[in-house]
Chain A
Amino acid sequence: MTTNSDHIPAQPSATEDVPTSPAKQVLRMLWRDKLAFFAAVFLILVILCAIFGPMLFEEEATRQDLRGRNAPPFDFSRNWLFWLGGDTLGRPLLARIIVAAQNTMMVAAGAVAASLAIGTTLGLIAGYSGPRTSQVIMRLADVIMSFPSLLLAVIVLYMLAPSVGNLIIVLAITRIPVYLRTSRAEVLEVRERMFVQAAQVMGASTRRIVFRHILPIVAPTLITIATLDFAFVMLAESSLSFLGIGIQPPEITWGLMVSQGRPYLTSAWWLSFFPGLVIILTTLSLNLLSNWMRTALDPVQRWRLEIARKKHG
């Protein structure tokens, strides 16, 4: 590693070993921040579980074995799927956590993707169009913002019968204003810049200016917020499932698993503990990664990650 201790980097590419491909550059920056690196590794693991978990472990996760009811964790003599113990029907807890990753991730990813797409589009329109359209859209955001969102979700889900689809819709609606406000605020600033004027002068259509010139500038901020929001939505889904109005058994999510283990708290603490721990680790990873992205995607701050740390301490 190069240590240029008294050199204050003004330019991001101040070090001599400039990586060639952008992917390599990102990986190198990620490696510099160890916490963010491990967060990324953990998230990739979770995503792999969400995609392949049900395919590989569905059978193990539902096979009951009443002799192994509430098997204690850390019994390494058994199959590795039982290392985190067994649940009240003797099903391996680890396998269930892996399988539950799919529903948990699907709800969060669906809600974030939907609110990101809708919120950003509305925000771009509000930011670039006239005051009247903008006013209507912003008032809409105010209305959604002022609703007690969790309470509303409770009612709507109780009415609509809780399912993955409905859960995604409810959570997405409550998160739209976040993206709407951010993208509008950014557009208001960006639209005054020179390159937008240049594009206008060259005769670019409004749609082209908004989606090809402005959106790429706004995107990094939005993606950072989306990462953070993913954690928030995951917690909200877990809370709803915990209250019994989210995902319904026999489907499982991590929040539901915590809730199912609650009656056995004093006799089998692991039933609630491990699913909750996985929730914490996932949201923590998302938070750490979002923090890293905030620095990495900001041209003013990026040098902090690009140069080697002067000293450890």
Chain B
Amino acid sequence: MKSFLGKRAIASAISLIGLIVLVFFLSRLTGDPTALYLPVDASLESREQFRELHGLNDPLIVQFGTYVSDLVRFDFGDSIRRSEPALDAVLRAFAWTLQLALITMSLVIVTAVIVGSLAAFHVGGVFDRITTFFSLVGASAPDFWIAIVAIVLFSVNLGWVPTSGTGTLWHWILPVAVLFIRPFGLILQVVRGSMISVLGSAYVKTARAKGVRNRPIIFVHGLRNAMLPVITVIGDQAAALLNGAVVVETIFGFPGVGKLMIDSILQRDFSVVLAAIFVTAVAIFVMNILIDILYAVLDPRIRY
């Protein structure tokens, strides 16, 4: 187990380094931020000064060297736009995204597992067909479209919830609801499929023959063994949430890491872009490792 974790950590570190190199050089190709930040009639001297201040005059490779040596001390440089350390801005935004993802994911897991198990209990029944159809619709819908339709319907026409921003509990309802739909549909399908095969297995029949009631059969005997494939999908979907919240955050003006990232790319604020990618990637790595550990905890047959 320990050597497995070590191997995973090393592999993750290598991917992270590759990621940073790639994004660093790609982002420098987008152009010079000077033109974007200084007024059109700025003098040549002040342009020169701006470049000098942000180290944009050095050859690319020197810039990269400076960047890496700073990075080792966890210094991602300052945001040009916000004049604060890039990492601070990113971590502040990431806290928002993490909250959003955590709330959404917990709701998704609880509802999808319960509904999926019940659907699997009567395959082909009315409940099963309805949930299967709606989960497919949910998994098929583009989230940006649902988001704007929901805004028109619930915010503009009915006036139940605010259109964007944060502050009260009401502001969370639409973003969470929109993010909820797709992972719910996908995870429900996997829970259902996995449950169907588990409920057909011999030990469930034995439990039935012994006279165990339906509810313990579904939620104790069945669910425990059906959870493994479900956890893989939960991991995938959680990662997708972490980096896919971009669209939803942009639409709802939610101050998360996705919105920060899009804004920073458009403003050529390189250090923030890099820090944001780095933090998101680290979060995804950590989650992948946690899921591997969870596998071993849930299924004693799995040994690393």
Contact = CB atoms under 8 A, between A and B. Distances in A.
B27 interface: yes
A286 B285 CA distance: 31
Most buried by A among B142, B243, B250, B288: B142
Contact of B145 (A35, A150, A276, A286): A276
B242 interface: yes
Interface in A141-193: 142-143, 146-152, 154-156, 158-159
Contact of A155 (B136, B258, B265, B285): B265
Interface in B153-207: 156
B294 to A, nearest CB: 18
A247 to B, nearest CB: 15
A159 B30 contact: yes
Contacts of B11: 139, 142
Interface string A254-285: 01001100100110010011001001100110
A288 B11 CA distance: 37
B296 interface: no
Contacts of B141: 279-280, 283
Contact of A143 (B15, B156, B244, B273): B15
Contacts of A291: 136
B298 interface: no
A159 B143 CA distance: 25
B60 interface: no
A276 B142 contact: yes
B113 interface: no
B143 to A, nearest CB: 7
A151 B285 CA distance: 15
A231 interface: yes
Given A239-B142, A279-B145, A266 B262 contact: no
B148 A258 contact: yes
A288 B144 contact: no
A149 B236 CA distance: 12
B29 interface: yes
A235 interface: yes
Interface residues of A, number: 40
Contact of A149 (B29, B140, B243): B243
B281 interface: yes
A279 B140 CA distance: 8
Given A143-B15, A156-B26, A242 B261 contact: no
B190 to A, nearest CB: 13
Contacts, number: 116
B137 A284 contact: yes
Interface in B220-236: none
Interface string B254-276: 00001001100100000001001
Given A155-B23, A280-B140, A150 B156 contact: no
B81 to A, nearest CB: 16
A70 B280 CA distance: 41
B86 interface: no
A139 B14 CA distance: 10
Nearest to B18: A143
A147 to B, nearest CB: 6
A243 to B, nearest CB: 7
A288 B136 contact: yes
A155 B27 contact: yes
A269 B18 CA distance: 44
Contacts of A154: 246, 261-262, 265
Contact of B30 (A143, A158, A259): A158
B233 to A, nearest CB: 13
B76 to A, nearest CB: 16
A287 interface: yes
Contacts of A286: 140
Nearest to B258: A151
B151 to A, nearest CB: 7
Interface in A231-252: 231, 235, 238-239, 242-243
B36 interface: no
B56 interface: no
Interface in A289-312: 291
A279 B148 CA distance: 14
Given A148-B277, A265-B148, A272-B145, A155 B26 contact: yes
Interface in B110-161: 133, 136-137, 139-145, 148-149, 151-152, 156
B34 interface: no
Contacts of A149: 243
Interface in B16-58: 18-19, 23, 26-27, 29-30
A159 B29 contact: yes
A63 B144 CA distance: 28
Contacts of A266: 152, 156
A258 B26 contact: no
Given A143-B15, A280-B142, 8 more contacts: A148-B281, A151-B243, A231-B140, A258-B142, A269-B152, A276-B145, A276-B148, A279-B145
13 contacts: A139-B11, A146-B15, A150-B244, A151-B246, A152-B277, A156-B26, A265-B148, A265-B156, A266-B156, A269-B152, A272-B148, A280-B142, A284-B137
Smallest CB-CB A-B distances: 9 pairs: A276-B145, A148-B243, A283-B140, A284-B140, A143-B15, A242-B144, A148-B280, A287-B136, A280-B141
